[in-house]
Amino acid sequence: MKTTLSYAALVLASSLSINASHAQTTEHPASEKAKQLAHEFLLIDTHIDVPYRINEHWENVAEATKDGDFDYPRAVEGGLNAPFMSIYIPASYEQSGGSIQLANQLIDSMEALVGRAPDKFAMAYSTDDIKQNKKKGLISLALGMENGTPIEGDLKNLQHFYDRGIRYITLAHSQSNHIADSSYDIRRQWHGLSPFGKELVKAMNKTGVMVDISHVSDEAFYQAVEISATPVIASHSSLRKYTPGFERNMSDDMLLALKKNGGVIQINFGSSFVAQQANRYGDMLEKRIEAVKKKYGEDSAETQRRIEELKANNPYPYATLEDVLDNIDHVVQLIGIDHVGVGSDFDGVGDSLPVGLKDVSDYPNLVQGLLDRGYSDADIKQILGGNLMRVWEANEAYAKTH
């Protein structure tokens, strides 16, 4: 789990071991049709944090695993064809150095996974690879870099990571870097993109690497969509409409700009991304704990008793599948069916996933929810993967002619 400041509420929830709402129940139990569609259609999830997960605690995800949100058997059960495996680089590497080494190690781990289980997985470097791997019954492993720090101000590194399979780059993460300001960082040193960041966006277009605007500040987003000659993605974001004041998510004005650009927002499943109560939970509980410490002393027995009582009486308010569906609905109603997809953040948001969407076996529940809300089979096909493929193909086509 990515324990940065951006995930403070999620870390707190996990540290409390609150599981009251963790049951695998849903208001939309998947019908046979939902399961059929999940397996028939191309299902792309643009953000799954397996590489960093197994770098910290190795498991063979080609087999069933005890921990985590992804493994091969559950992926097959859920109908997942093409996860973008996140090459996640913590923000601290901008100062400490070593980001290129870590990125290469994480990419190596995905290539090793394919090497261990070539009957189950295959690398995917293009939209054609995605299609061919599906025909062969293999799960495609595509790669996206979360945090552009490993570019290290040198466009030669962009080419290096393209050659290694990176097909999108999230420009920044939880702190501003040499490319862009982060939505989480109050220091807006660039007021959007840095001069190098503006050049990098153009170079990504020409190289065939999708520009990912998840995590960046609003100014950086608007500059990126203005500069980019190709459609951008938000690889794992949700909507500010349901989390007021949470800049990490996208506003309605940003969605309208995304439509004009031709891009797509891939909805993040994390409870704090899709529901206001979960989004504010960490801050609420921390304020109450601080008040208790102030009144009864930092380390007193009474303070500890009251903190435990607070935690017991205020369980983490997990979002539900309905909240995720509400986010999808709003995108469709505002900018159309062509601009929304799936970017779950599985293995990246700890124990904060919604009821009914706890791991990669649960995509049929999402399909059932879409069916219940009146989405056609063609609509669902676009949401599950068609929209992302359109954007990726547009980036490929531009790079071939530039």
Structure confidence by residue, pLDDT tens digits, 289-341:
888 888 889 889 888 888 888 888 888 999 999 999 999 999 999 999 999 99
DSSP string, 91-144: TTHHHH--HHHHHHHHHHHHHHHHHH-TTTEEE--SHHHHHHHHHTTPEEEEEE
pLDDT at 4 over 70: no
| Model confidence, pTM | 0.92
Q: Who contacts 127 (Cβ-Cβ below 8 Å, separation ≥6)?
A: 389, 392, 393, 396
More confident residue, 116 or 312: 116
| Domain definitions of the chain by residue range | 21-275+319-401, 277-316
How big is the CA angle at 239 (ends 340 and 85), to the nearest 5 degrees? 55
Ramachandran angles phi, psi of 216, nearest 5°: -80, 165
CA dihedral 346, 352, 356, 360 (to 10 degrees): 10
Q: Tell me the CA distances in angstroms from 291 to 93, 354, 361, one per residue in order.
A: 35, 30, 41
What pLDDT is recorded for position 1? 58
Confidence tier at 29 by pLDDT (50, 70, 90): confident
What pLDDT is recorded for position 307? 85
Computed over every residue of the chain, the mean pLDDT equals 93
pLDDT at 40 over 90: yes
CB atoms under 10 Å from CB of 241, counted, come to 17
Dist CA 47 CA 65 (whole Å): 19
pLDDT at 10 over 60: no
Confidence tier at 255 by pLDDT (50, 70, 90): very high
Alpha helices in 190-275 (DSSP H): 195-207, 218-227, 252-261, 271-274
What pLDDT is recorded for position 28? 65
pLDDT at 197 over 50: yes
Confidence tier at 5 by pLDDT (50, 70, 90): very low
Structure confidence by residue, pLDDT tens digits, 64-106:
999 999 999 999 999 999 999 999 999 999 999 999 999 999 9
CATH number, span 21-275+319-401 = 3.20.20.140
